[in-house]
Structure 1
């Protein structure tokens, strides 16, 4: 990763921090002024988003560090760890918002309607769409799971704000219970979003296997080399957000050492060029020996 990419990552993170801060101030102030549970829930959701954005800003840039003595394979797992923190924070806040919404349903006092409520929501939707658009645009080349989590959160913020609009319109039309009901809906969506982000990034952290299609593509790449006669003991797993490949390729046992070395280097380069593959380790074996651990995988 070069300095330009790190700078773009930092700018996108800052845009998320400032965008969420602005949403919190506007929705929080108006929600408090008119007692809207739904608007306060939407603003509180953005507090978790703000914390998540700050965490991505601080921790997320570790992905750009080169391997060192303490992290010989690089720092790629820091990013899914950051995104996992985002997901957990969002889910916990959603549970709290659901509790507050239920309390609002049981309360005797409801929100007072004001067009400022709709104005604050219009600002929130426009604000989050701008942040979403910018984050997605920056992340097209970076492929950051942390920025992807923030962009998804921005998009979900728009949906939750639309739900709050329905609650505020309910207050206008004489159905004040719609305000805490909208808050409850927002809360459920927030919890679902947090759990989804968490599950995805746990798979990166525990070294989960990729899809069958990705594994098949790796095998096909190895077998496409003209000197490879078979593949066995193929292992493909996530190391952070990228794939690690370990494989034994079968070649003619009579190949001179220098030619065998060239074949191995070519295979590693071919695999590293594959989408989502970060590193590859290839061991060459003479074909026809038939003593492999995974003999059924040959050819």
Structure 2
């Protein structure tokens, strides 16, 4: 939990810093590509705040109204932020097209190059850090942030090229770069939304994971077979329903213990929150 909180705090601090410096040089240079990058960083601030809140909520213990916990908080936050990214992207495209039709003078101040290069380097480092944290703690929200960070690297690179072109009196370069930055914002929103909609829709586990569960279960003493196995996401964790076969001649207490052993063993897996076991005597 502390590591997840630290990851969100680091991302929030970095995004606030990048937003401020990009907003300043964007206004001074009048570059739509750089202003778009500033808006992109502003969305990143909202993303960081949303993820910070979602991570905190998701770690709350189950209560009377949420008896299986609050794991859905992270995918819900990630999906909402994906929708917001689309709204920002549309606004950037609209302004870029206006400037493409009616170009505006741009002041090619050297500070823009410094800011965008700093952004690229910072986001590469941040993305690698977020990927490592998301893998270690199985956090969909932090993973979504890592996708956004690497897309920011590409978007800043496009903005850098666009500003460079505008410095040589190719004003349309800046507008085209603004549109391309918006495309990366769309891409980031789509990727995050596509992945988290599976959590919210209760997608079942892949066949490979089901096979692993069957293998683990069959290795438990007393399990004679498996006649049904179903799974679905609840938040970002799986709920599993499994029907095991046991010897019909053993006492009920022993078959009950076998079922409990199956439940406890499967619930030790990081991907699983809850297992429901049905015992069939054969």
TM-score category (smaller protein): over 0.9
Q: Which residue of 1 aligns with 2:67?
A: 72
Q: Which residue of 2 aligns with 1:46?
A: 41
Question: Structure 1 runs of 4+ off > 4 angstroms?
Answer: none
Asked if the contact 1:128–1:154 (Cα under 8 Å) also holds between the matched residues in 2, the reply is yes
Q: Which residue of 1 aligns with 2:30?
A: 35
- Superposition map of 1:165-176 within 5 A: 165-176=160-171
CA drift of 1:240 comes to: 0.8
Task: Tell me how far apart the structure 2 counterparts of residues 239 and 108 of structure 1 sit (CA, whole Å).
Answer: 50
Q: Secondary structure at the match of 2:16?
A: helix
Structure 2 residues without counterparts, runs of 5 or longer: none
Q: Secondary structure at the match of 2:62?
A: coil
Task: Give the TM-score normalised by structure 2.
Answer: 0.94
Q: Secondary structure at the match of 1:177?
A: helix
Aligned with residue 76 of structure 2, among 69, 73, 81: 81
Aligned with residue 280 of structure 2, among 279, 285, 289: 285
Q: Which residue of 2 aligns with 1:125?
A: 120
Aligned with residue 231 of structure 2, among 226, 229, 236: 236
Task: Tell me how far apart the structure 1 counterparts of residues 128 and 269 of structure 2 sit (CA, whole Å).
Answer: 28
- Superposition map of 1:85-96 within 5 A: 85-96=80-91
Aligned with residue 148 of structure 2, among 142, 146, 153: 153
Q: Which residue of 2 aligns with 1:139?
A: 134
- Could you list the per-position Cα deviations for residues 24-76 of structure 1 after superposition, in whole angstroms to 9, with x for gaps in the alignment? 11111111111111000011011111111111112321111111112110111
Q: Which residue of 1 aligns with 2:111?
A: 116
Aligned with residue 261 of structure 1, among 256, 265, 279: 256
Asked if the contact 2:147–2:192 (Cα under 8 Å) also holds between the matched residues in 1, the reply is no
Q: Which residue of 2 aligns with 1:13?
A: 8
Task: Tell me how far apart the structure 2 counterparts of residues 229 and 132 of structure 1 sit (CA, whole Å).
Answer: 47
2:207 paired with 1:212 = yes
CA drift of 1:19 comes to: 0.9
Task: Tell me how far apart the structure 1 counterparts of residues 54 and 268 of structure 2 sit (CA, whole Å).
Answer: 27
Asked if the contact 1:246–1:281 (Cα under 8 Å) also holds between the matched residues in 2, the reply is yes
1:171/1:108 Cα in 2 relative to 1: closer, same or farther (>3 Å)?
closer
Q: Secondary structure at the match of 1:199?
A: helix
CA drift of 1:275 comes to: 4.4
Aligned with residue 94 of structure 2, among 96, 99, 106: 99
- Could you list the per-position Cα deviations for residues 234-260 of structure 1 after superposition, in whole angstroms to 9, with x for gaps in the alignment? 211111111110011111111112221
Task: Tell me how far apart the structure 1 counterparts of residues 6 and 100 of structure 2 sit (CA, whole Å).
Answer: 41
- Number of corresponding residues: 282
- Could you list the per-position Cα deviations for residues 111-170 of structure 1 after superposition, in whole angstroms to 9, with x for gaps in the alignment? 232211111111222332343343334334222111111121111111100111111121
Q: Which residue of 2 aligns with 1:192?
A: 187
Task: Tell me how far apart the structure 1 counterparts of residues 251 and 134 of structure 2 sit (CA, whole Å).
Answer: 45
2:172 paired with 1:177 = yes
Asked if the contact 2:79–2:196 (Cα under 8 Å) also holds between the matched residues in 1, the reply is yes
Q: Secondary structure at the match of 1:210?
A: coil
- Could you list the per-position Cα deviations for residues 169-222 of structure 1 after superposition, in whole angstroms to 9, with x for gaps in the alignment? 212333221111111111111112102211211110121112222222222322
Task: Give the TM-score normalised by structure 1.
Answer: 0.89
